[in-house]
């Protein structure tokens, strides 16, 4: 049915849905006389009295209860019983509920520029397009390793050809293997570095041997120690890397005979990830196959606007403009030094002026997400070429003009493009945070083969199977788990002497592997996060958290799920992050569950408060202290919802270690949750809560909504009030399959609401 017919149907039903009941009319009268003075005639708030608008997700029953207990302020006895119910009905129908807000002010798709991550990804894909190869998703890990007897690459001297999981060797004075002399050999490692998180990395190489380490490009010598100087054996260099990319590695190591002072041979390749600790680069971040080259923008980009709860390209200021200019200049230089020589070599038999024009046109066509018209070609290409005799300068000028253009920076300015090109643009933006650059997707767009829902769905399914999509999904899950903002986890050493930054680093790695194992499994079942999550462990984690954290005998490194360890909900990384240095925090844990896992609205506290110190109440458990501190009526408005969830997780201490007692008293893990429909659910312990979250409609809706916001960076209600319900319903019908949800969201986002009726179902 077209949107026009839907509009007619909606208009005919509107009077019925807006018809005020007698109760609602009475509620309006009471509200205007007793409430509007503080809250405004339409619940919009009153400056210096009660600034916050009356909006939320309480049921009418909960609203009535809240009104009868707290309003009017200081005189709640004036509005109780039937009066409170009438006011609740009026407020809910008029401006409080989500539907009322949507009817008054339907969300719109905002014009936004590229976010920082979208800018990084777009430039990386423009660069990668010229090498015509994208890293293929594979389970193979480690680096190709070729070992030679003698310090030169001679095929007849190759003794070992294998895959090395990590580079961390101490051969002393022996050779690396049979038939290889300890004082004269050559090793070459080839492959790629798989990056899951954008940010600043420190690469650390320790070796007593000579070496050249290349990263990102076959000609880029990231660290050159071919000619050894003195006794230096440690080399550090920092670089910004982009999530979802595989950066090619070539590591050449030389052990040469010395006349005096032959050193034992050793080598290690480590890194310090963003906000992490230094560690040997693990096997799951190394792959034996990689693209020939990959680009990583080094320009620092300012943070994005998060006023809507997710990153959006809304801020336009001098800082943003300067950063975009610097990024354009950086990429222009890279285009001149890396891309142009490669492009010219491929067409060495053609006229250089023609080749240069084609090269710059190809960059602009990718950046503008479609072919150039004559006017654009004249300004962005020909004018820049004619302005200088220096080819490199012409490239830099053209690229700067292109990347500063609104046609690049504002992806939605594509209404003049064909329908299929618009769909390709939105698919790439939704699933990759990028633009179309893969030849197969560009071909579909050029042939206008992205018009039907079947065609769009097929393309989206293919795009999900990509490291770029995997990186974006990892970031989505971090948003869902409230982990996207870096926070240092520290505990009091007097209480937890064995809990260190290395423990935290391994817990984070464990969490990452668990997230990947669930999403990219055959079932891709959201419910597995709470029912049977494959939790990864390590020797350090096992030593700290006990026998429940010992690995299965299959050498995969994963646990056998138990009641203590079988749920993402109680993962120590989450539990330790949602806690204080010396004690648990049921409030932090309850807020996390309410806002992020269940998607409920919670008003921020009117005043900052300091938790009661355990030293002041040594005889009280943490639960009892929280109950004492949040007992005032003004606190209970929110904490009656928060505490009931946070208390259920009290079995896990400040470091996420399982416990049964707190201050020598049995831990009370009973709690409750009031659902959106007003009904209450009771829990005893985290296992019951986890089972509820696995199957909860509220939790499913919250996950779908969070996924849409992160992927599309627009409100799902802009596609219609019922769109979230439709996506959630399909998600549940698909057995909570996360990958199918990604495809469903991408298909919806590929068709803007105003043109949705153009999509046909005919093949």
Residues contacting residue 18 through CB under 8 Å, at least 6 positions apart = none
Q: Which two tokens stand for residue 401?
A: 């003009």
The answer, yes or no, to whether residue 16 has pLDDT greater than 70, is no
Closest to 369 measured CA to CA, from 121, 112, 713, 122 = 122
Where b means 16+ CB within 10 Å and e means fewer, 437-476 reads bbeebbebbeeebbbeeebbbebbebbbebbbbbbbbbbb
Question: Tokens 């040997």 appear where?
Answer: 280
Count CB neighbours of 669 within 10 A: 20
Would you tell me which CATH number, out of the four given (2.60.40.420, 3.90.1640.10, 3.40.1350.10, 3.90.182.10), belongs to the domain 143-287? 3.90.182.10
The CATH number assigned to the domain with range 3-104 reads: 1.10.760.10
pLDDT attached to residue 564:
75
The answer, yes or no, to whether residue 562 has pLDDT greater than 90, is no
The answer, yes or no, to whether residue 89 has pLDDT greater than 60, is yes
Count CB neighbours of 580 within 10 A: 14
The answer, yes or no, to whether residue 2 has pLDDT greater than 50, is no
Where b means 16+ CB within 10 Å and e means fewer, 674-686 reads bebeeeeeebebb
Closest to 43 measured CA to CA, from 79, 100, 96 = 96
Task: Tell me the CA distances in angstroms from 327 to 305, 414, 469, one per residue in order.
Answer: 19, 23, 23
Q: Where are the alpha helices (DSSP H) in 616-663?
A: 622-629, 633-646
Alpha-carbon distance of 757 to 760, in angstroms, equals 8
Looking from the CA of 87 toward its CB, the CA atoms found within 13 Å total 29
384-428 pLDDT, tens digit each: 999 999 999 999 999 999 999 999 999 999 999 999 999 999 999
Closest to 580 measured CA to CA, from 554, 615, 556 = 615
Q: Which two tokens stand for residue 203?
A: 């690469």
Alpha-carbon distance of 73 to 53, in angstroms, equals 16
Alpha-carbon distance of 67 to 346, in angstroms, equals 74
Lowest-pLDDT choice from 232-241, 277-286, 404-413, 564-573: 564-573
Q: How far is CA 681 from the centre of its chain?
A: 31
Say if residues 272 and 278 touch (Cβ distance below 8 Å). Answer: yes
Say if residues 605 and 687 touch (Cβ distance below 8 Å). Answer: no
Model's pTM, two decimal places?
Answer: 0.91
pLDDT attached to residue 20:
57
Question: Where residue 111 falls among pLDDT bands split at 50, 70, 90?
Answer: very high
Please tell me what DSSP assigns to residue 163.
E
Alpha-carbon distance of 472 to 90, in angstroms, equals 42
Domain definitions of the chain by residue range: 3-104, 116-131+306-462, 143-287, 501-695
Q: Which two tokens stand for residue 472?
A: 């974006």
Say if residues 186 and 151 touch (Cβ distance below 8 Å). Answer: yes
How confident is the model over 160-181, as a mean pLDDT?
A: 94
- Look over the chain and give the mean of its residue pLDDT values, rounded to a whole number: 91
The answer, yes or no, to whether residue 9 has pLDDT greater than 70, is no
pLDDT attached to residue 395:
98
Alpha-carbon distance of 301 to 299, in angstroms, equals 6
16 or 457, higher pLDDT? 457
Residues contacting residue 679 through CB under 8 Å, at least 6 positions apart = none
Alpha-carbon distance of 215 to 238, in angstroms, equals 12
Alpha-carbon distance of 578 to 756, in angstroms, equals 42
Residues contacting residue 565 through CB under 8 Å, at least 6 positions apart = 535, 548, 549, 559
Question: Tokens 């070609």 appear where?
Answer: 377
Count CB neighbours of 498 within 10 A: 11
Say if residues 304 and 114 touch (Cβ distance below 8 Å). Answer: no
Strand 265-272, strand 158-164: pairing:
unpaired
463 or 564, higher pLDDT? 463
How confident is the model over 588-598, as a mean pLDDT?
A: 97
Q: Where are the alpha helices (DSSP H) in 234-382?
A: 318-334, 340-346, 352-367, 374-377
699-755 pLDDT, tens digit each: 999 999 999 999 999 999 999 999 999 999 999 999 999 999 999 999 999 998 864
Lowest-pLDDT choice from 33-47, 181-195, 405-419, 714-728: 33-47
How confident is the model over 545-551, as a mean pLDDT?
A: 90
């Amino acid at each position: 049915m077209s949107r026009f017919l839907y509009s007619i149907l909606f208009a005919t039903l509107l009077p019925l849905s807006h018809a005020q009941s007698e109760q609602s009319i009475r509620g309006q009268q009471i509200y205007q006389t007793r409430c509007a003075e503080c809250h405004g005639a339409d619940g919009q708030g009153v400056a210096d009295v009660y600034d916050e608008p009356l909006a939320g997700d309480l049921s009418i029953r909960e609203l009535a209860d809240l009104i009868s207990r707290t309003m009017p302020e200081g005189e709640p006895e004036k509005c109780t019983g039937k009066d409170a119910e009438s006011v609740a009905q009026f407020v809910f129908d008029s401006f409080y509920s989500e539907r009322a807000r949507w009817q008054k002010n339907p969300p719109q798709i905002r014009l936004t520029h590229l976010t920082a991550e979208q800018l990084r990804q777009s430039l990386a894909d423009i660069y990668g397009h010229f090498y015509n190869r994208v890293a293929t998703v594979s389970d193979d890990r480690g680096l190709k390793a070729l070992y030679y007897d003698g310090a030169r690459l001679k095929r007849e001297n190759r003794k070992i050809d294998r895959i090395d999981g990590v580079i961390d060797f101490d051969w002393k004075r022996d050779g690396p293997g049979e038939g290889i002399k300890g004082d004269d050999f050559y090793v070459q490692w080839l492959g790629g570095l798989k990056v899951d998180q954008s940010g600043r990395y420190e690469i650390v190489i320790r070796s007593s041997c000579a070496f050249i380490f290349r990263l990102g490009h076959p000609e880029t010598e990231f660290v050159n120690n071919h000619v050894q100087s003195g006794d230096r054996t440690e080399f550090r260099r920092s670089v910004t890397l982009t999530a979802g990319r595989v950066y090619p590695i070539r590591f050449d190591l030389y052990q040469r005979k010395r006349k005096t002072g032959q050193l034992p041979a050793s080598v290690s390749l480590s890194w310090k990830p963003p906000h992490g600790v230094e560690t040997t680069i693990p096997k799951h971040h190394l792959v034996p196959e990689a693209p020939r080259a990959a680009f990583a923008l080094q320009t620092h980009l300012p943070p994005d606007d998060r006023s809507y709860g997710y990153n959006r390209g809304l801020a336009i200021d001098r800082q943003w403009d300067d950063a975009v200019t610097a990024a354009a200049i950086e990429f222009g230089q890279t285009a001149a030094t890396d891309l142009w020589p490669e492009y010219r070599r491929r067409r060495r038999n053609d006229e250089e002026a023609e080749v240069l024009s084609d090269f710059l046109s190809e960059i602009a066509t990718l950046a503008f997400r479609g072919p150039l018209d004559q006017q654009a070609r004249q300004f962005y290409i020909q004018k820049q070429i004619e302005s200088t005799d220096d080819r490199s300068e012409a490239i830099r000028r053209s690229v700067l003009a292109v990347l500063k253009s609104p046609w690049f920076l504002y992806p939605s300015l594509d209404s003049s493009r064909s329908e299929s090109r618009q769909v390709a643009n939105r698919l790439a933006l939704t699933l990759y945070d990028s633009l179309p650059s893969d030849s197969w997707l560009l071909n579909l767009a050029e042939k206008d083969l992205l018009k039907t829902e079947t065609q769009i769905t097929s393309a989206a399914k293919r795009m999900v199977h990509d490291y770029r999509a995997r990186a974006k999904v990892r970031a989505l899950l971090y948003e869902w788990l409230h982990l996207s903002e870096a926070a240092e986890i520290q505990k009091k050493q007097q209480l937890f002497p064995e809990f260190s930054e290395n423990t935290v680093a391994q817990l984070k790695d464990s969490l990452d592997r668990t997230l990947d194992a669930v999403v990219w499994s055959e079932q891709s079942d959201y419910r597995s996060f709470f029912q049977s999550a494959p939790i990864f462990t390590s020797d350090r984690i096992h030593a700290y958290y006990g026998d429940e954290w010992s690995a299965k005998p299959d050498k995969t490194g994963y646990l056998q799920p138990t009641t203590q360890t079988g749920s993402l909900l109680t993962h120590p990384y989450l539990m330790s992050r949602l806690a204080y240095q010396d004690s648990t925090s049921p409030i932090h844990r309850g807020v996390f569950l309410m806002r992020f896992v269940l998607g409920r609205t919670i008003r921020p506290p009117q005043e900052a408060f300091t938790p009661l110190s355990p030293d002041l109440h040594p005889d009280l458990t943490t639960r009892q202290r929280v109950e004492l501190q949040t007992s005032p009526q003004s606190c209970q408005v929110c904490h009656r919802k928060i505490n009931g969830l946070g208390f259920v997780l009290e079995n896990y201490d400040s470091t996420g270690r399982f416990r049964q007692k707190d201050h020598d008293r049995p831990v009370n893990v009973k709690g409750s949750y009031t659902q959106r429909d007003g009904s209450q659910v009771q829990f005893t312990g985290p296992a019951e809560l986890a089972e509820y979250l696995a199957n909860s409609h509220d939790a499913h809706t919250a996950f779908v909504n969070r996924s849409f916001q992160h992927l599309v960076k627009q409100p799902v209600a802009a596609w219609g009030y019922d769109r979230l319900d439709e996506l959630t319903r399909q998600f549940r019908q698909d057995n909570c399959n996360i990958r199918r949800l990604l495809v469903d969201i991408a298909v919806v986002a590929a068709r803007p609401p105003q043109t949705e009726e153009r999509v046909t179902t005919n093949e």
